[in-house]
């Protein structure tokens, strides 16, 4: 396990061979303590022993009730990673972003440290609308139970795309085609034989120009999504497309069992929907000091300082659900706090007095502990159990500086 803990930067020659353990100082970051305790026994686990209490404890500290198990198993899930989340993750890695507030999502202007793309789990009703012969109707279901009760919902923004591929290349030269899109909230379940329109409330109606590369149609559904978090309150949405044409039969969709429509007809676009959900876990969001560049010393020394500790997620079997990063430099604190404490050891007045008393009575008074005094966050991009892509910011995951306390 020493190879895992030291990662790509093994202990320098002459360094204490026991320096691969974490100092149990009173101010040690809880997340790093839990992670290190679990990593010490991670390689001894088999697949049948994944109920390791240390792993569960660490996952809970990350706000995860259990280890995510995407539907793809050990193979990469098929859900694509939204380009917006990739950009946000890359931005979080640069130094300027680390200086900003980790509990604010600047891209959306709201408070939050968790961003999810909740995928639509609905289906086509039949390809035909019950209220319009030449319309296309699709149910949308966006599962809000993926949020934990402690999370505060800041934003739920619906994104709908209508990818459209003309049957003939010449149709691209005829100018954009248009459809009318209506979005309904389903108020209650519809009994068989009843009119579904009676259980719907119109949320949005607008015309949409059909292009091969459509822009996303967005709508703020924060208040509605907050209600969906309660059991039995989410009956989904319905999207209805109808043609804006003098000849509506030109937009007839494919009929069940037919391979091609008649020559003059065009297919409706597909309907792709997802819900961008931003939430805040207040237990993982605290004020912190601004981070500066950190250069860990590599020369042998027994005094208190930050040591290199690289965590590789593949070594602990998390590569099937963590998208990025593949690992990170967590670091840890180790070393002595000798008398007299120099200014470089960042000792408190109490620590200075304690080292003085220790020098007079080494058996009765211990030395101060070497602990982290400045930590910085990391961001993780991963799949949850429903194959939703999640971007999450975690504070206090990297030891930047150590001191005597």
Q: Between 358 and 168, whose confidence is greater?
A: 358
**Residue 27, pLDDT score:** 43
**Residue 332, pLDDT score:** 94
| Average pLDDT of the residues in 275-286 | 90
Residue 373, pLDDT > 90, answer yes
**Residue 33, pLDDT score:** 54
Q: pLDDT-based confidence at 291, cuts 50/70/90?
A: very low
Q: pLDDT-based confidence at 263, cuts 50/70/90?
A: very low
**Residue 143, pLDDT score:** 93
Q: pLDDT-based confidence at 38, cuts 50/70/90?
A: low
Residue 68, pLDDT > 60, answer yes
**Residue 254, pLDDT score:** 43
Non-local (6+) Cβ contacts of 320 within 8 A are 69, 70, 72, 73, 74, 75
Residue 325, pLDDT > 50, answer yes
How many CB atoms are located within 10 Å of the residue 58 CB?
Answer: 23
**Residue 4, pLDDT score:** 39
CB 116 within 8 A of CB 389: yes
Question: Which of 89-103, 131-145, 391-405 comes out lowest in average pLDDT?
Answer: 89-103
| Average pLDDT of the residues in 174-182 | 75
**Residue 23, pLDDT score:** 40
Give the Cα separation of 306 and 295 in Å (integer).
9
Which tokens hold the place of 123?
Answer: 């289906």
282 sits in the region (left: phi over 0; alpha: psi -120 to 50; else beta) called alpha
Q: pLDDT-based confidence at 239, cuts 50/70/90?
A: very high
Q: What is the CATH number of domain 116-190+197-247+265-284?
A: 2.60.120
Q: pLDDT-based confidence at 8, cuts 50/70/90?
A: very low
Per domain, the residue ranges of the chain are 116-190+197-247+265-284, 305-377+398-404
**Residue 94, pLDDT score:** 74
Residue-averaged pLDDT of the chain = 76
| Average pLDDT of the residues in 50-79 | 71
Give the Cα separation of 109 and 221 in Å (integer).
16
Residue 131, pLDDT > 90, answer no
Question: Regarding the domain delimited by 305-377+398-404, which CATH topology (the fold level of the hierarchy) does it fall under?
Answer: 2.10.90
Q: Between 214 and 241, whose confidence is greater?
A: 241
Look at the alpha carbons of 127, 128, 129, 132 in this order and tell me if their dihedral is positive or negative: positive
| Average pLDDT of the residues in 275-279 | 96
Print burial letters for 256-295: b (CB count within 10 Å at least 16), e (below 16): eeeeebeeebbbbbebebbbbbbbbbeebbeeeeebeeee
């Amino acid at each position: 396990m020493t190879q895992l803990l030291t990662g790509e930067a093994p202990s320098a020659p002459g360094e204490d061979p026991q320096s691969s353990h974490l100092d149990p100082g009173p101010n040690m970051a809880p997340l790093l303590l839990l992670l290190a305790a679990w990593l010490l026994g991670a390689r001894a686990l088999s697949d049948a022993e994944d109920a390791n209490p240390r792993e569960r404890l660490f996952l809970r500290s990350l706000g995860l009730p259990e280890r995510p198990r995407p539907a793809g198993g050990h193979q990469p899930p098929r859900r694509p990673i939204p380009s917006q989340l990739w950009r946000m993750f890359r931005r979080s890695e640069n130094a300027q972003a680390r200086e900003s507030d980790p509990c604010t999502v600047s891209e959306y202007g709201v408070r939050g440290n968790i961003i999810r793309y909740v995928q639509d789990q609905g289906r086509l009703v039949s390809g035909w609308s019950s209220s319009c012969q030449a319309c296309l109707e699709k149910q949308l279901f966006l599962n809000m139970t993926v949020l934990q009760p402690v999370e505060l919902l800041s934003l739920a923004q619906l994104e709908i795309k209508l990818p459209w591929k003309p049957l003939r290349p010449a149709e691209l030269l005829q100018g954009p085609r248009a459809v009318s899109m209506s979005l309904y909230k389903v108020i209650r379940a519809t009994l068989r034989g009843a009119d579904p329109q009676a259980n719907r409330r119109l949320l949005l109606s607008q015309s949409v120009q059909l292009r091969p590369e459509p822009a996303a149609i967005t709508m703020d559904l924060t208040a509605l999504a907050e209600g969906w978090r309660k059991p039995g309150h989410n009956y989904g949405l319905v999207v209805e497309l109808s043609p804006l044409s003098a000849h509506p039969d030109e937009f007839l969709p494919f009929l069940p069992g037919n391979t091609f429509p008649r020559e003059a007809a065009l297919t409706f676009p597909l309907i792709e929907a997802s819900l961008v959900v931003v939430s805040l876990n207040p237990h993982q969001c605290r004020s912190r000091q601004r981070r500066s560049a950190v250069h860990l010393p590599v020369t042998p020394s027994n005094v208190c300082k930050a040591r290199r500790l690289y965590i590789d997620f593949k070594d602990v079997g998390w590569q099937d659900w963590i998208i990025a990063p593949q690992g990170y430099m967590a670091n840890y604190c180790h070393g002595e706090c000798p008398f007299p404490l120099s200014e470089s050891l960042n000792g408190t007045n109490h620590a200075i007095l304690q080292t003085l008393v220790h020098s007079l009575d080494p058996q009765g008074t211990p030395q101060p502990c070497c602990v982290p005094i400045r930590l910085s966050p990391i961001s993780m991009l991963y799949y949850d159990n429903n194959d939703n892509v999640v971007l999450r910011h975690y504070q206090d995951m990297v030891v930047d500086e150590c001191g005597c306390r």
